[in-house]
Structure 1
Amino acid sequence: MNTVPSETGNGPVTILPRPNSLGRAVTIVTAFSGFVVWLARCKLPWARPNQTTGERFADLLQGLGTTFVKLGQHLSLRADLLPEDTLRALERLQDHVSPFPVDVAESIIELAFGRSTEEIFASFDRKPLAAASIAQIHRATLANGHDVIVKIRRPNIRAQVDSDMRLLRRVAHIAQRLVPALRPLNPVAVVDEIWSNLRREIDLAREARNVRRFADATRDSPTVFVPDVIDGLWTETVLVQEFSHGRRIDEIHGEQGMIVAQSIVDSYVHQLFSIGYFHGDPHPGNLFVMPDLRVCFHDFGIVGHIDRRLRRALAAFATAFVEQNADWVVDAWLDMGLLRQHADRRIFLEVVDDLLRDFADLPLREWSIANALSRLIAAGRSSAVGLPSDLLVFSRTVLLLESTLQRIAPEFSIVEALSRHVKNGRIDINDQESGRSRRLSFELAATIDELPDLMARKLHDKLGKSGLFELTINQDPHFARSLEHLGARIALAIVTLGLYIASTLLISNPIGPTIAEVPVLAIAGYVLAVRFTYSITRDYRRLK
């Protein structure tokens, strides 16, 4: 071990030594060379390997420690790059690590806050409550008597991650240049993406901000609880959070399991389609059940974000999947950016048709959105499929979610739960529409919302940038009045179109008073639209 000066000026603070870069590089290269030799031996006619390639690769990553365990967990999302057996092996990678010494933990706390554990806490449990590859957790009590947990990042982990990933990036760069078959996969970009995700995951200050956002968003929820962070007690290396009592979610079964499963799905619908960000790591170790059956979410190191456009595309995908509308599923897939524009749409339409036919013969509880996502991605393992970062997190989240819910409530159907949300309008769709009319309503609503921005962008591109039209206007009062009149008619036509669409939607979704079961607002909208149509037509005839 070595020492650094304490920020408090009370003497040196003990920390662990930084890893030896050269020695680490030799270890990594030796391990991967051994894997390549094993692969070559497996190709021999008499070879009888006792492991699959995926299992051997997972063992290799497990043996190389934190960075490579996390690397494997991130690679387990890449159904567009790896075969299914390798993905399944990587999904089983676990953070099997020993806790680091408590005096090192206390030194990290002192460096983070400039005060010792005795000054910050009324009591501090020197025995770790849990230990993982990124951090370990201790129980403590604040001076006001509140029980808390103290999450302490492993010493030098950022330096180790950066050193390991820098080496991997060099290897990927060399491989990409020497092996032409790897170039379409762009291994350097894959390494860069995983490196960026790892640095975010090990930043406890970022995690604290995520916790605060979720705690604020769920503060009044009767079914979900997020223990909040303690103000002034979180940094990049240490996070102090409220302590929550409860059981691991996989200890819940039977009727309680069904209640908890429904609460989790309800929460994710709210996270995805209302607040736009979601807990990205819902495995049983991160979900607890309170005595009142509220679900307690822990560990916000992985959080997915979806913007309004992606949220709408996800809503369309969920609805299309529930409705078994193959054409709509592919369109939603395109809108999510998962299929590149040059992709052969017919191939994916055939895959979706086969997928939905397979599911049609199964009870709803056996329908799997994760399986559907995997099959769609596997169908385009060529350059036709691209996976935006947040959709990688989403696909992994769905996989973990389905696995967790199967443990606590095997009879629970996520698709059936989503169908109920579709019907009650929580996924931007209404109960009183079905089949094709439901899609029409969805697309009309989306078009109305996007119409002003689309028109502005088109005008800007056509007139502002391309110079397609160049107008020279003489100072002619008559011409100016005609141009002004033309603009007014165009504006009136747009308003009229909006009235027709809005009135149609109001009939499908009645609000306010009605006459003969037709909303008064819809009638008024149609009357105005007809009146404006007459005005536009009359003006057109005058011009003729």
Structure 2
Amino acid sequence: MKTAFKKSPLVMVKSSIDTGVNVLKRIQKTAGVAGLSALRVAMGEKMDAQLLKESFEQMGVTYIKLGQFIASTPSIFPREYVLAFQDCLDATTPIPFTKILSVLREELGRERDLGDIFEHIDPKPLASASIAQVHRAVLIGGRQVALKVQKPNVATVIHTDLSVLHRGFWLAEKLVPSIRAANLAPILDEIRSRMLMETDFVAESCHIEKFLNFLKQMGNTQVTAPTVHHELTTKRVLTMDLLLGKSLVDETLEIAKDDEKSHQVMSDVLDTWFSSLMATGEFHADLHAGNLMMLDDGRIAFLDFGLVGKIEPKSLQACFVLVQSLQTNDYQGMARAMVEIGMTHERVDIDGLGKDLHRMLGQIGKDNRPESLNAMMLELTEIGKRHGIHFPRDFALLLKQLLYFDRFMVTLAPEMQLLEGGRLKMVGGE
């Protein structure tokens, strides 16, 4: 039997030195980008949400995720920042394949050579984001898999960035007492929690397994997810069967030319997502166009379970009532639903809240365009804050996912309603 790989004291010292160097490099890069942004402001450029977004994208993983958090949390951040960060990109330049191999050796090759596991690993990535890179590979025996490999030093970068942010928040609260009222510490804790969720591939593999078990129990053969190879999965490497297909909004798909088929596909996606949510209390919180695929065999695949939300049944039911009320312009119903969803120690004036909703949302108008719905969600949270309503942790994630679905419906089935037929009965609407 082979003995487990054990680090020598010399290797451990070298690892500590490398970590220290990486921390220093990260601080220098952050300071450099911040300095360039400050120079742009000094030269007359306005320090606004767009400039901050550009700076965040240059600073990489932590700040990209922070930007996405801002975009999905309108109950906390100002409107102009929420809108600016809704297009915060998480598609990055691929890193050299040698670095990906280094991570694979550390995670999978400690007791055996990678050649004993893989016949081939394609050096060209299928995708590259801030946290991970995906490569096609072939296992010994010929099975094709997708390798999701966490980029080197991601944990160090995130830890360093969050430490800098924590000190910055602390200093801001000391220098500007009014900021203390914003209670920034819980915001940072929430960012940290979401980032840790997305960097734990073992947890992601468990979410995939749970979803596949749900599909099996329901006898749902039209929707699937990648089969995970647990023996080749660690916190930094996720090995899954390779699924071949195209994005649901790819214009070359046949369903794009067939209204009946596109309506059925959208129904399958929504029915599966809603029934999974109702059955498990969890929901895929990042099901955008890139994470929904029409496979070559005609099935629909849900991909990337790195971000999964949870919400209490009482709040969940109220969320659906809120969506229904939005669709029918029932402002009093919306007010009652917001109180049910939110957490408040104050007595809320339902009638006054309903009138505020009518006054503010009535100006936006009712249509199915994504920008209109985004504006509605922003107004909802703003009005809620003024009435002392604080929404639960994953409320914004749920609303963001419902907005993703709205975008799909505009493209695939514009006449379709989010809550109709079986889905309406599922959430207690009939």
In the TM superposition, what is the alpha-carbon distance from 1:402 to its structure 2 partner? Answer: 2.4
The residue that corresponds to 2:240 in the other structure is 241
Matched, 1:285 2:290: yes
The residue that corresponds to 2:228 in the other structure is 229
In the TM superposition, what is the alpha-carbon distance from 1:35 to its structure 2 partner? Answer: 4.2
Matched, 1:302 2:304: no
Q: What SS class does the counterpart of residue 240 from structure 1 fall into?
A: strand
The residue that corresponds to 1:540 in the other structure is none
In the TM superposition, what is the alpha-carbon distance from 1:427 to its structure 2 partner? Answer: 1.1
In the TM superposition, what is the alpha-carbon distance from 1:277 to its structure 2 partner? Answer: 1.0
In the TM superposition, what is the alpha-carbon distance from 1:154 to its structure 2 partner? Answer: 0.7
Partner amino acid, structure 2, of 1:420: G
Matched, 1:411 2:409: no
TM-score between the two structures when normalised by the length of structure 1: 0.68
In the TM superposition, what is the alpha-carbon distance from 1:299 to its structure 2 partner? Answer: 0.8
1:337-364 deviation line (CA, Å, top 9, x unaligned): 25563555444312333467568x7466
Q: Any unmatched runs of 5+ in structure 1?
A: 1-5, 43-48, 431-544
CA contact 1:352–1:376 (8 Å) conserved in 2: yes
CA contact 1:67–1:161 (8 Å) conserved in 2: yes
Matched, 1:71 2:77: no
The residue that corresponds to 2:101 in the other structure is 106
Give the fraction of aligned pairs with identical amino acids, expressed as a percent: 23
Distance 2:40 2:189 in 1: 27
Of the structure 1 ranges 337-346 and 181-190, higher mean CA displacement relative to structure 2 is found in: 337-346
The residue that corresponds to 1:501 in the other structure is none
Distance 2:129 2:29 in 1: 22
CA contact 1:338–1:388 (8 Å) conserved in 2: yes
The residue that corresponds to 2:190 in the other structure is 193
Matched, 1:261 2:266: yes
The residue that corresponds to 1:212 in the other structure is 209
- 1:399 equivalent among 392, 397, 403: 403
Distance 2:368 2:90 in 1: 34
Distance 1:97 1:422 in 2: 37
Partner amino acid, structure 1, of 2:23: S
Q: What SS class does the counterpart of residue 130 from structure 2 fall into?
A: coil
The residue that corresponds to 2:114 in the other structure is 117
In the TM superposition, what is the alpha-carbon distance from 1:320 to its structure 2 partner? Answer: 3.6
Partner amino acid, structure 2, of 1:291: D
In the TM superposition, what is the alpha-carbon distance from 1:301 to its structure 2 partner? Answer: 0.7
Of the structure 1 ranges 270-279 and 339-348, higher mean CA displacement relative to structure 2 is found in: 339-348
In the TM superposition, what is the alpha-carbon distance from 1:137 to its structure 2 partner? Answer: 1.1
Q: What SS class does the counterpart of residue 389 from structure 1 fall into?
A: coil
Of the structure 1 ranges 117-126 and 149-158, higher mean CA displacement relative to structure 2 is found in: 117-126
The residue that corresponds to 2:27 in the other structure is 25
Q: Any unmatched runs of 5+ in structure 2?
A: none
Equivalence map 1:107-506=2 (5 Å): 107-113=102-108, 114=110, 115-219=112-216, 220-251=219-250, 252=253, 253-254=256-257, 255=259, 256-337=261-342, 341=346, 344-354=349-359, 357=362, 362=366, 370-382=374-386, 384-406=388-410, 408-409=411-412, 411-413=414-416, 416-421=417-422, 423=424, 425-430=425-430
Q: What SS class does the counterpart of residue 240 from structure 2 fall into?
A: strand
In the TM superposition, what is the alpha-carbon distance from 1:21 to its structure 2 partner? Answer: 2.8
TM-align CA RMSD? 3.2
Partner amino acid, structure 2, of 1:70: K
Distance 2:28 2:291 in 1: 35
CA contact 1:261–1:405 (8 Å) conserved in 2: yes
TM-score between the two structures when normalised by the length of structure 2: 0.84
Of the structure 1 ranges 202-211 and 245-254, higher mean CA displacement relative to structure 2 is found in: 245-254
**Alpha carbons of 1:382 and 1:63: their partners in 2 closer, same or farther (altered >3 Å)?**
farther
**Alpha carbons of 1:377 and 1:426: their partners in 2 closer, same or farther (altered >3 Å)?**
same
Q: What SS class does the counterpart of residue 229 from structure 1 fall into?
A: coil
In the TM superposition, what is the alpha-carbon distance from 1:58 to its structure 2 partner? Answer: 0.4
Distance 1:73 1:363 in 2: 25
**Alpha carbons of 1:321 and 1:191: their partners in 2 closer, same or farther (altered >3 Å)?**
same
Distance 2:347 2:395 in 1: 20
Q: What SS class does the counterpart of residue 388 from structure 1 fall into?
A: coil
Distance 1:403 1:366 in 2: 6
Q: What SS class does the counterpart of residue 158 from structure 1 fall into?
A: helix
Greater RCO between the two (CA within 8 Å, min separation 6)?
Answer: 2
CA contact 2:246–2:293 (8 Å) conserved in 1: yes
**Alpha carbons of 1:377 and 1:38: their partners in 2 closer, same or farther (altered >3 Å)?**
farther
CA contact 1:340–1:386 (8 Å) conserved in 2: no
Structure with greater Cα Rg: 1
Q: What SS class does the counterpart of residue 81 from structure 2 fall into?
A: helix
In the TM superposition, what is the alpha-carbon distance from 1:53 to its structure 2 partner? Answer: 1.2
CA contact 1:282–1:404 (8 Å) conserved in 2: no
Q: What SS class does the counterpart of residue 250 from structure 1 fall into?
A: coil
Distance 2:315 2:29 in 1: 42
Distance 1:260 1:30 in 2: 47
In the TM superposition, what is the alpha-carbon distance from 1:336 to its structure 2 partner? Answer: 1.3
Q: What SS class does the counterpart of residue 179 from structure 2 fall into?
A: helix
In the TM superposition, what is the alpha-carbon distance from 1:382 to its structure 2 partner? Answer: 4.9
Distance 1:158 1:366 in 2: 35
**Alpha carbons of 1:24 and 1:112: their partners in 2 closer, same or farther (altered >3 Å)?**
closer
**Alpha carbons of 1:316 and 1:378: their partners in 2 closer, same or farther (altered >3 Å)?**
same
Distance 1:124 1:317 in 2: 48
